[in-house]
Each structure stands twice: as C-alpha cells, then as structure tokens.
Amino acid sequence: LASSSTLIAKRGWGAPDSAAIARLTIDPSREGNVIGPDFTGLSYETAQLGDPEFFSPSNRDLVGLMRRLGGSGVLRIGGNTSEYSRWTAETPAAMGADAPAQPGAAVGPDTGKAPPKPTIITPHAIRNLRGFVDALGWKLIYGLNLGTGTPETAAEEAAYVFNTFGPRLIAFQLCNEPDLFSRNGIRKAGYAYPDFAKEWRSFYEAIKKRVPDAPFAGPDTAFNNEWLLPFANEFKQDIVSLSQHYYAEGPPTDPSMTIARLLQPNPKLQSQFAGMGQTRKDTGLPFRLAETNSCYSGGKEGVSDTFASALWGAELMYQLAQAGGEGINFHGGGFGWYTPIAGTREKGFTARPIFYGMLLFAQAGAGKLLASSLEYQQDEPLLTAYSLRSDSGSIKAVIFNKHKDRSARIAIQPQERSEEASVLRLTASGLEATTGIVLGANGVDGGGKWEYSSLERVSIVDNAATIEVPSASAALVSFKRL
C-alpha cells in the first residue's frame, strides 16, 4: 500500500497507524437486492430536445461520456420544461416564428423560477434521440405534457415516440412533479391528488386508444408519498413501474445547505424510501428514482459541483439499491451545478465530479447486494460500506470515507476463500475539489475515454484485506476468488 501511505503523509493526515480501525464483515450467504444492468441513468430536460442535434448519434463525445457510465442504462427526458413542450409533426421551418430559438444553446436543469419558453419537439428530434439511445445501448423514459397540453396531442406524440423506439422505450410518464402543480403555477391552489388522478386517467385513456401497447410509469411526483401511495394503488394495473424524485437539499440560497450536511444521513431520503417500500408492498411494482440530485433549483455552487457530490451520488445509488429501488436518473444538462456531464456540442463536454461517483458504481457493476456489517469506532456515520456479489462472480466492497480529515484503516473480510484483492480508488484533493477528480488515478476525457492507471493489489492476511481509505475518498475492493 505504498501509494496510499505516501499520499497520506503528503497531505499531512498523520501516519496510517494512527488511523481508525474499522472492520467490514461480508456475509456471502445472505444475498440482498439485485443491481440490474439498467440501474444507472441520467435525466435531462425536455427543452434539450429543442436542439434536435444534441441527442443524436453524431454527438459522439456525449455518446462516449454516457456510455462510460454503463453499456446499458436509462435516459429519462422530462423535468419542469416537459410541461411546456409542444409536439408538432411539422418541420420547424413550416412553423415560422415558433421555430426553436438558438439551437445548440446550453439547456441546464430548469430552476423553476418562471415558466420556461415552450420547446418545439419535432419528429426529427425523436428520430435522432432514437439513434442516440441506440448508440448508447440504453433505454428511454419519455415525459409527456399533461401540464399545459391536451390528451389528443399527447396521444399523437406518444404514437410517434412509441413507433420510433419500440422496445427501447421503457415507459411514458405523463407529467413532472404534479404534486407541485399548485405551487408552480401550472394549476390553481388547492389542486389535489383526486384532481390529478382524473387528469392522469384521461391522458392515459387517450394514449391507450391511439397506442394500445404503450407502457406507462408514474406518478413522477417531487416527494409526496401522499400522492405516490394512492397513485400506486389506483393505477397499478396500468403502469410498469413507479417513480418519484429526490433532491437532497434546497434551495441553494439556504445557508445550511453545505457539504457537511449533504454527507450526513438525510431524513428526507428515509421518507422517500418509506414511500417506495410501501408501494412495493402494495403493488409489487418496481420503483425508479426517475429524477434526483443534490439540491433543487439548479443546484448549489460549492456543493453540487464538488467532489463531495461524487461520494454522495455513488452512495445514493447503493442506498437506493439496498432499499429496493430498480434504478436512478441523475438530473442535469448544460452547465448546471449538479450536472454529471457539463457542456455543449459547440464547446465540448466535461465529466463533472458527480460523474465520477457514477463511474465508480459502473466499475463495481451489476450484481446482487450482500449483507455486510461495518464496525467502526467513531460515532459519526461518515464511513460507510456496501458489498455485492458482482455478476462476474467476485465479491466486491465499496467503501466511502466522507470524513473531511480522518483517514480510516479498514479490514475487509469476504468470508470466502480469496487469494488477493484489488483496490480502485476515487480521489480528489479534498471534498471541495471541483476539478482533478480521478478514479484509479485517471480522469475521464471529454469523449468519455478513461482507463485506470493505478490498481493496487492487496494480499489476504488472516482472511482479510486491510486497506487505508484516506479521508474524502472512496475505494472499490474486488476479491479474486480462489
């Protein structure tokens, strides 16, 4: 472990000997939830379709970056701007003044401050989107406009999307965060679940009439279990999966929204998981966190764009899997603070810190969670670990040290005969770092190219692999089976 000890000495964290001792005991006989190959995902604003060349196979750098996150995954299109989109079978030129303004402009997450300009969605944009999703090997969740659209137009749009995507379409969602409609000006104050259910039903029926095999998901609520649960029960026969959103913090003007708070356990997440658990019990349907990120209203500078968000995001993926979720979509786009991929076609793209968290998850890969217990002398819950049996057969452990300045020495016992473990590290100069994030000592380039240049080997002594996990870092430990 020469490399990590030098790193520790250099940063002045104290000698590794003084680091806390933790023990992670994995129980390979106790398998938990599955992490499927489609677990990972991204979410973009519908407004991004206003530039039909963005989601297009010709946008090779973006394809490369997204593919780096997984050979399969889910792209979700929606967000606030989906409620202001307009489908047309016409070409934009034929529409004169309604033609999309500034194709190629950066489309970041909507901040929700004012109704956005309507986005014109054309058949051309949908065909390019299909080519894009094909190039990724991913699937699509597509948001329609119940907020300001009509059931008839939604049915026309759905027909075109359905015919274009075939099996690559997982589901339509009919709206975005209907539980906030009464607050964001889409509906009058007092708009309640029964009003929404009626509207949802009428859109659903219009689309079903036009596209009998159309798959649906929902309700895509912001956070409200009081909408999620009745929706699940009322529409369980009509949908293929349930969805809700999660923003850990917000708004960005809240001074208590800090890195330190982001990295602590979050009661809001527990409430989300409670709703999700209940719907699973009630309906048996899978649940997807269809839109998530660190801070709503576009994110918070100095938090959402830092290395802390990478640790937060990667851990959220495991927390969700552990709670029984089937997948996640990190929201982003443009140059938003929390976006995993930043940039434009013209200026090029970069992998932001949170991208590296998703990359760590991708490197651990699909599999089945394993029960494991972490004994740690400190009372702060800033050292956490997750274990899995990967589809390749090997046992893996992912360890997060979210301490700002406390290194940890951890003994990992796979409880299965193994001759050696390898360690891939996710590191940066500190929690606040916005650049210089590396996995396996290498960064990701603007086209998604990445390869580790450092993979440590650790021998198994007394049935354990003992490693240092420096403060503000994560480690993926893979055991080689005997």
Which parts of this chain interact with ligand BDP (CB under 6 A)? 45, 79-80, 109-112, 176-177, 222, 291, 296-298, 331
- Provide the minimum distance between the beta carbon of 302 and ligand BDP in the complex, in angstroms, as a whole number: 16
- Provide the minimum distance between the beta carbon of 286 and ligand BDP in the complex, in angstroms, as a whole number: 21
Amino acid sitting at position 130 = R
What angle, rounded to 10 degrees, do the helices at 267-283 and 307-323 form? 30
Helices (H), 148-224: 151-165, 193-210
Residue 115 or 324 having the CB closest to ligand BDP: 115
Cα gap 119→162, rounded to integer Å: 20
- Provide the minimum distance between the beta carbon of 334 and ligand BDP in the complex, in angstroms, as a whole number: 10
- Provide the minimum distance between the beta carbon of 367 and ligand BDP in the complex, in angstroms, as a whole number: 30
- Provide the minimum distance between the beta carbon of 183 and ligand BDP in the complex, in angstroms, as a whole number: 11
- Provide the minimum distance between the beta carbon of 454 and ligand BDP in the complex, in angstroms, as a whole number: 35
Decide: 418 and 424 in contact? Cβ < 8 Å: no
Three-state SS for 60-102 is HHHHHHHHHCCCCCEEEEECHHHHHEEECCCCHHHHHHHCCCC
Here the tokens at position 255 are 């001074």
Residue 112 or 365 having the CB closest to ligand BDP: 112
Cα gap 410→403, rounded to integer Å: 14
Residue-wise DSSP of 333-371 = -TT-TT-SEEEETTTEEEE-HHHHHHHHHHHH-SEEEEE
**Percentages helix, strand, coil for the chain, rounded to the nearest 5?**
30, 30, 40
Residue 76 or 402 having the CB closest to ligand BDP: 76
- Provide the minimum distance between the beta carbon of 301 and ligand BDP in the complex, in angstroms, as a whole number: 13
- Provide the minimum distance between the beta carbon of 340 and ligand BDP in the complex, in angstroms, as a whole number: 13
Residue 99 or 105 having the CB closest to ligand BDP: 105
User: Coil, helix or strand for 323?
Assistant: helix
Residue 61 or 177 having the CB closest to ligand BDP: 177
Residue 298 or 365 having the CB closest to ligand BDP: 298
Residue 145 or 407 having the CB closest to ligand BDP: 145
Cα gap 460→413, rounded to integer Å: 9
Residue 47 or 276 having the CB closest to ligand BDP: 47
- Provide the minimum distance between the beta carbon of 80 and ligand BDP in the complex, in angstroms, as a whole number: 4
CB atoms within 10 A of CB 255: 6
Cα gap 218→149, rounded to integer Å: 17
Residue 25 or 111 having the CB closest to ligand BDP: 111
C-alpha separations of 19 from 377, 409, 424 in Å: 11, 6, 20
Nearest residue by C-beta to ligand BDP?
Answer: 79
Cα gap 312→307, rounded to integer Å: 9
Burial 379-409 (b: 16+ CB within 10 A, else e): eeebbbbbbbbbeeebbbbbbbbbbeebbbb
